[in-house]
């Protein structure tokens, strides 16, 4: 799985968490509204209703904005949850100030906001919210409008209603029930989102592994087709001569039999190498190695099997850079070499260069150059249109190379050289070579 797909899944999970936070805030606002109405109209505790309603209205507006942000498509704003939680802490502080300050039993709701921050935010952001809740609680110790509780002067046996202490205990119970319920709902929702994200990650990883096997087999088949071309052609020529002219004399027959045996051995070795390479583990083939150390053996091996073509390696890097030593990248380079040779190139050069954050592996040759239809879709961003153009005369090789480069978060650029010839450049992110195998 590449980084873009993983980032997309992470963003979807973050968006679901934001939606969950919006629903949690709606429940909290509703609970606060019911508590205020019950206290003011049922318990007959006078409250500054105008200021409280304005404050709750402000929270409604803030949550509407958060809901729009969570449900709209596109990139989420950075630090959006941090800003929302800071507004929640400020609003709860103001609400508690209007309803008794630190004596209000609902000060326990600060703990819910700290829990939400610890789950959703980065460490420094969660600490910011926790410090804000502690500072708010400390400030409320010496600030707050006192509540005029009805019947608080009846503290003896003839009290007409519940005492202030009884109401405080009941409020503490309601605060615990509200904060505990919201916390459990939120944590269960987060667990559900995380499980859903993990399932998506697992499914995507399995799909990418299956596609990697198919792509690897495709590259192996393409390389095997190049390797098998010459021996199979020799076999076909000899057999055609036998059909047309009959078997040759004994001595010539022995020579031709040895040639056929050599061709069969070459075919068998090519197929065995393809099967061995396709079965190599991904971890073994994905270690970071120096680019020159990776490309050198590939160039030597290819030159040994293609004596009629000159292939040189030039290292023009200003600083060291590493690539993933994956069999797919190795086959991609070999496909570029084979395509150049089939197009008539007799001299090839593999140039290694770096541009800071990127490493380029450019294959230059002396062929006539790429046709115009190929250059019109010169990057792998036009995969659909270029796929059709590649099939018209440049085989499956370049299409497979594009797939490999895309999986490595890179780019393939095709161009013609000013003085004649063609250039195929693979650009990959620069890695740090640790020397580990």
7 with 99, same domain? yes
Residue 62 lies in a domain: yes
172 with 43, same domain? yes
427 backbone dihedrals φ, ψ, rounded to 5°: -110, 125
Residue 350 lies in a domain: yes
Question: Which tens digit of pLDDT belongs to each residue from 40-78?
Answer: 887 777 888 899 999 999 989 988 988 888 777 665 565
329 with 198, same domain? no
316 with 197, same domain? no
307 with 203, same domain? no
Q: Cα separation of 84 and 38, whole Å? A: 27
292 with 184, same domain? no
> Which segments in the chain show pLDDT lower than 50?
153-160, 281-285, 378-395, 434-437
Residue 255 lies in a domain: no
| Domain that residue 24 falls in | 3-146+165-207
The per-residue b/e assignment along 360-391, b for 16 or more CB within 10 angstroms, e otherwise, is bbbbbbbbebbeeebeebbebeeeeebeebbe
Residue 279 lies in a domain: no
188 with 327, same domain? no
Q: How many domains would you assign to the chain? A: 2
* 273-278: Cβ within 8 A, 24+ apart: 274/220, 274/221, 274/223, 274/224, 275/220, 277/216, 277/220, 277/327, 277/331, 278/213, 278/216, 278/217, 278/220
300 with 426, same domain? yes
Residue 361 lies in a domain: yes
Residue 153 lies in a domain: no
**CATH at residue 314:** 3.30.565.10
203 with 295, same domain? no
Q: Cα separation of 300 and 278, whole Å? A: 21
51 with 140, same domain? yes
Residue 220 lies in a domain: no
Model pLDDT, residue 435: 46
Residue 362 lies in a domain: yes
Q: Which of 155, 189, 207 is the last residue of a domain?
A: 207
Model pLDDT, residue 426: 92
Name 16's Cβ contacts closer than 8 Å, sequence gap at least 6.
Answer: 193, 196
């Amino acid at each position: 799985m590449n980084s873009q797909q993983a980032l997309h899944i992470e963003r979807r999970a973050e968006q679901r968490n934001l939606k969950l936070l919006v629903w949690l805030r709606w429940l909290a606002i509703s609970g606060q509204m019911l508590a205020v109405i019950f206290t003011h109209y049922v318990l007959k505790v006078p409250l500054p209703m105008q200021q409280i309603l304005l404050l709750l209205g402000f929270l409604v507006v803030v949550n509407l904005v958060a809901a729009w942000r969570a449900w709209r498509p596109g990139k989420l704003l950075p630090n959006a949850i941090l800003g929302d939680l800071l507004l929640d802490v400020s609003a709860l502080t103001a609400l508690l100030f209007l309803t008794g300050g630190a004596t209000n039993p609902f000060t326990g709701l600060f703990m819910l906001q700290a829990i939400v921050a610890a789950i959703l935010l980065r460490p420094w952001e969660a600490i910011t919210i926790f410090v804000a809740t502690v500072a708010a609680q400390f400030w409320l110790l010496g600030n707050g409008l006192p509540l005029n509780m009805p019947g608080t002067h009846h503290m003896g046996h003839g009290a007409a209603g519940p005492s202030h202490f009884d109401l405080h205990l009941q409020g503490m119970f309601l605060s615990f029930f509200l904060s505990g319920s919201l916390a459990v709902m939120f944590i269960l929702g987060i667990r559900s989102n995380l499980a859903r994200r993990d399932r998506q990650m697992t499914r995507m990883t399995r799909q990418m592994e299956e596609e990697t096997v198919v792509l690897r087999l495709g590259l192996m088949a393409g390389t095997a087709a190049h390797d098998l071309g010459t021996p199979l052609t020799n076999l076909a020529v000899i057999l055609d001569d036998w059909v047309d002219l009959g078997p040759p004399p004994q001595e010539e027959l022995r020579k031709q039999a040895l040639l056929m045996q050599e061709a069969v051995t070459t075919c068998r070795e090519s197929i065995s190498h393809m099967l061995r390479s396709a079965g190599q583990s991904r971890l073994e083939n994905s270690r970071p190695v120096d680019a020159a150390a990776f490309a050198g053996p590939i160039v030597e091996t290819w030159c040994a099997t293609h004596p009629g073509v000159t292939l040189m390696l030039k290292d023009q890097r200003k600083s060291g850079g590493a690539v993933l030593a994956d069999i797919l990248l190795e086959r991609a380079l070999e496909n570029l070499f084979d395509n150049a040779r089939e197009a008539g190139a007799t001299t090839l050069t593999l140039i290694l260069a770096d541009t800071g954050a990127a490493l380029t592996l450019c294959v230059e040759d002396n062929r006539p150059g790429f046709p115009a239809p190929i250059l019109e879709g010169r990057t792998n961003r036009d995969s659909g249109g270029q796929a059709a153009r590649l099939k018209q005369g440049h085989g499956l090789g370049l299409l497979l190379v594009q797939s490999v480069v895309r999986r490595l978060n890179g780019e393939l650029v095709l161009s013609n050289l000013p003085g004649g010839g063609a250039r195929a450049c693979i650009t990959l992110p620069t890695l740090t070579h640790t020397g580990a195998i």
